[in-house]
Structure 1
């Protein structure tokens, strides 16, 4: 998010119950992602204790932390969109008149939805293949891979839902394009 005072702090719902529910879901995703990061930190601390204090080997720690961090990244996507936390380069939107800004925002959101939709589609097939084939990792821990892979379709699906809500809010005038007030 840019440092300008023009950007909004979070997605607006304008009293719309569907937008409010989608925002609530995105906020829950943020909490879950934060808890996954905290769990990763605690697991790393335990791994350090086991390796360097108890002088024992660890089996699942590194792989578990990797899966948790990837999961936190994917599950955190809708929350970051909700709070407008993605990096913005808003020089062009600031310079454009309101109508052109709205058109540009619509194009950007539509293209973003298309890319996220493609990622959702491929993430779902990746997860389903691991589920269907019963894939496991080639490590001593050997977890079922469908569990961490589930973060891909789930994260991208919820991100697409938040993007669609933002597009609807902008299209209906509930929210401003790029969070910028009219000039």
Structure 2
């Protein structure tokens, strides 16, 4: 038995091997995304600690603070970017899916593919801008304009890592869409949408 691929008939074993490689890639990318999500959560905890420490130093010890405010800002920004790939896996990003829910499986898959490609381009542009800013900060030795005065490339690095890996995760999601079809989460909402329309 043979399956037809883009370049003509291909042995089933070859097609199965290709699919296995794609699924291995998807699992590996998702594992790294979840690790980045854990790091982002730890950064949020660190930001909470920094704010608590700042309050203690200012109002209990009655002393000035140096690093706490800036660290908190950078930690929250880093957590946002590093956690973005994991949020994509969990379908946590804001999106308007009423058309996808109301569509059939084929149209739904097409809409998800177009949405994924558009998002990949957008994230790619942000990743390029992050790389440019990181490179400028590194080569020029830029520092933050504060008493703490840390190298600027340090807070920019999580933005670069997060956006690059978010782009990789989008590629993995497009591969998953190619292998498995439309997102089953939306398909499960199909009946609920139909019932709501009928009741209206």
TM-score, normalized by the shorter chain, greater than 0.5 = yes
Structure 1 equivalent of residue 116 of structure 2:
109
* RMSD after superposition: 1.9
Structure 1 equivalent of residue 139 of structure 2:
132
Preserved CA contact (<8 Å) 1:135 1:144: yes
Can you list the C-alpha shifts for 1:62-109, whole angstroms capped at 9, x where unaligned?
Answer: 011111111011101111011111123221111112211111111100
State the structure with more CA Rg. Answer: 2
TM-score where L is the length of structure 1: 0.87
Q: Secondary structure at the match of 1:180?
A: helix
CA distance in 1 between partners of 2:172 and 2:119 (Å): 13
Task: Tell me: higher relative CO, structure 1 or 2? Use CA pairs within 8 A at least 6 residues apart.
Answer: 1
CA distance in 2 between partners of 1:105 and 1:146 (Å): 35
Structure 2 equivalent of residue 160 of structure 1:
167
Structure 2 equivalent of residue 99 of structure 1:
106
User: Displacement of 1:146 after TM fit?
Assistant: 0.4
Structure 2 equivalent of residue 8 of structure 1:
none
Moved >3 Å (runs of 4+)? none
Could you tell me which runs of 5 or more consecutive residues in structure 2 were left unpaired when the two chains were aligned.
Answer: 1-19, 191-200
Q: Secondary structure at the match of 1:150?
A: helix
1:178 and 1:129, CA in 2 relative to 1: closer, same or farther beyond 3 A?
farther
Could you tell me which runs of 5 or more consecutive residues in structure 1 were left unpaired when the two chains were aligned.
Answer: 1-12
1:180 aligns with 2:151: no
User: Displacement of 1:129 after TM fit?
Assistant: 0.3
Can you list the C-alpha shifts for 1:100-141, whole angstroms capped at 9, x where unaligned?
Answer: 111111110000000000000111000110001000011111
In the TM superposition, 1:2-151 aligns within 5 A as 16-151=23-158
CA distance in 2 between partners of 1:75 and 1:55 (Å): 35
The structure in which a higher percent of residues are helix is: 2
